[in-house]
Amino acid sequence: MNTWIVLLAAGSGSRLAAASGGAKKQFLDAGGSPVFWRSAQALARCAGVSGIVFVFPPDELDAAREAVDTLDASAPLGLDRRVVHGGARRQDSLENALSALPRECTHVLVHDAARCFVTPDVAARVLEALRSGAKAVIPAVPVKDTVKQVDAQGVVVATPERASLRAVQTPQGVELEALRAGFALARRENLTVTDDAGLVEALGLPVSVVEGSEANVKITTPEDLRLLAPARVPAALPRVGFGYDVHRYASEAEADAPNARPMVLGCAPIPGAPRVLAHSDGDVLLHALADALLGCLCLGDIGQHFPDTDPSLSGAASSVLVAEILARFAPAGLALVHVDLTVVAQVPKVGPHREHIRRNVAGLLGLAPERVNVKATTEEKLGFTGRKQGIKAYATATAVETGAPRAD
């Protein structure tokens, strides 16, 4: 499954125009970055996403493309990205985005940029349902208020049963083949739909529902602008987690063993380096980082959550494990602000790869590169690393409390 995000940020924002001084809501400030970028950062932290297509108003396309380039340079998403213009209707904007997708894309997560409070765990639930075979998936929350159906004269004509009602959110996940078929039907029958799954519904295919989040609100009315104001919270209390990991190098006799992995450090392949013996992909640096993140959360160590006895984790990408741990920060009321990483090895030389590793880790964590430090050292030919028998890594992670833990 190859999944891309489609971030719809092409709306006119007419209901907010007076309150926002004419600025479109997707470009408003949301804690130091535009609303659309905050949405992109959250979804980019969801493991299993390959790229993102931004959809902007045609008259602001050039300025928005430049803004994306600038933002990604300072805080990389770590994803392939494309920028296209929107259309007159939501479905027109989505269809424009589909034309920019690579051939290998099989599924899309379509998200309203104005839902900038989305968290990676909502997207992860949508992705999991798609992996299980669903053609279309929507996140939703139960409707709290009684809903009345009212006619043109303002008279109640029906009261739907509240228990069966759901308020639908984004990102909505759709199999690309089904979505293209839905567009073909919409053109033949001149259909207009208000959400992306509606195109699949029109084909008569089932749409699965997964748990959304009460916090995943959409900036729509002037009253919603207060949600973008900086929250007044007590002085943030820091938490520091420490991590350590070690991997042995494969001997000549072990070079072809099933668990002898090509060396990867911080998602960066290290050509010509010794192979490491490991159950997962053997990224010693990300394993140390994972333990440091778990230290901030007070949730034990990586072995408790991803044991090396689990056959499903054989060869698993360590970036996926880190992303799953990072997704627990927001619900715990924590924000990661800094990591410091050290590789200890006689071989290979890590220096030439340092900046590549740094940018990879920054993108994975959603941090600016200046908040990630990577360094390397030897042990002067002492110990097992000095004898070129293995490699080890240390990591510290610093997080601050953002307030009360969130229920989602």
Tell me which of 228, 258, 275 is where a domain ends: 228
Q: Are residues 242 and 365 in the same domain?
A: yes
Q: Are residues 110 and 244 in the same domain?
A: no
Q: Are residues 251 and 354 in the same domain?
A: yes
DSSP letters spanning 375-395: EEE--TT-HHHHTTSEEEEEE
For a pLDDT cut of 70, what percent of the chain falls above it? 94
Q: Does 58 score more than 60 pLDDT? A: yes
Residues in Cβ contact with 328 at an 8 Å cutoff, skipping those fewer than 6 apart: 297, 299
Number of domains in the chain: 2
CA nearest to 138, candidates 93, 87, 224, 198: 198
In a domain, 304, yes or no: yes
Task: Name the amino acid, one letter, at 73.
Answer: A
**What pLDDT is attached to residue 13?**
60
**What pLDDT is attached to residue 56?**
94
Instruction: Fill in the DSSP letter of residue 400.
Output: E
Tell me which of 210, 228, 246 is where a domain ends: 228
Q: Are residues 300 and 214 in the same domain?
A: no
**What pLDDT is attached to residue 404?**
54
Q: Does 23 score more than 80 pLDDT? A: no
Confidence of residue 184 (pLDDT cuts 50, 70, 90): very high
**What pLDDT is attached to residue 213?**
92
In a domain, 407, yes or no: no
Tell me which of 182, 197, 228 is where a domain ends: 228
Q: Are residues 307 and 203 in the same domain?
A: no
CA distance 35 to 292: 30
Q: Are residues 209 and 155 in the same domain?
A: yes
Confidence of residue 402 (pLDDT cuts 50, 70, 90): confident
Q: Are residues 242 and 167 in the same domain?
A: no
Mean pLDDT in residue range 61-71: 94
Distances (CA, A) of 82 to 9, 50, 59, 268: 13, 12, 17, 23
CATH number of the domain enclosing 201: 3.90.550.10
Q: Does 233 score more than 90 pLDDT? A: no
Window from 74-83, 106-115, 191-200, 267-276 with minimum mean pLDDT: 191-200
In a domain, 314, yes or no: yes
Question: How many C-beta atoms lie closer than 10 Å to residue 238's C-beta?
Answer: 13
Q: Are residues 193 and 282 in the same domain?
A: no
DSSP letters spanning 328-356: TTTTTTEEEEEEEEEEE-SSS--GGGHHH
In a domain, 218, yes or no: yes
Q: Kindly tell me the burial class for residue 317, based on how many C-beta atoms sit within 10 Å of its own C-beta (0-12, 13-18, 19 or more).
A: middle
**What pLDDT is attached to residue 235?**
59
Residues in Cβ contact with 370 at an 8 Å cutoff, skipping those fewer than 6 apart: none
Instruction: Show binding-site residues.
Output: 245-247, 279-280, 287, 301-303, 306-310, 377-380, 384, 387
CA distance 178 to 172: 13
In a domain, 233, yes or no: no
Confidence of residue 407 (pLDDT cuts 50, 70, 90): very low
Task: Name the amino acid, one letter, at 41.
Answer: Q
In a domain, 79, yes or no: yes
In a domain, 168, yes or no: yes
Mean pLDDT of the chain: 90
Contact 43, 118 (CB under 8 A): yes
Taking every pair of Cα atoms in the chain, the longest distance, rounded to a whole number of angstroms, is 86
In a domain, 408, yes or no: no
Instruction: Show binding-site residues for a divalent metal cation.
Output: 245, 247, 287
CA nearest to 83, candidates 98, 97, 104: 97
CA distance 119 to 133: 23
Q: Kindly tell me the burial class for residue 339, based on how many C-beta atoms sit within 10 Å of its own C-beta (0-12, 13-18, 19 or more).
A: buried
Window from 206-210, 255-259, 294-298, 353-357 with minimum mean pLDDT: 255-259
Looking at the chain, the number of H-run helices and the number of E-run strands are 11, 18
Q: Are residues 187 and 47 in the same domain?
A: yes
Both tokens of 81, joined, read: 């990205």
140-178 pLDDT, tens per residue? 999 989 999 999 999 999 999 988 999 999 999 999 999
Confidence of residue 41 (pLDDT cuts 50, 70, 90): very high
Bigger pLDDT: 405 vs 250: 250
Q: Are residues 376 and 303 in the same domain?
A: yes
Q: Which domain holds residue 38?
A: 3-228
Confidence of residue 408 (pLDDT cuts 50, 70, 90): very low
Mean pLDDT in residue range 87-97: 91
Question: How many C-beta atoms lie closer than 10 Å to residue 370's C-beta?
Answer: 11
Q: Are residues 168 and 87 in the same domain?
A: yes
**What pLDDT is attached to residue 81?**
93
CA distance 12 to 23: 9
Q: Are residues 148 and 92 in the same domain?
A: yes
**What pLDDT is attached to residue 323?**
94
CATH number of the domain enclosing 248: 3.30.1330.50
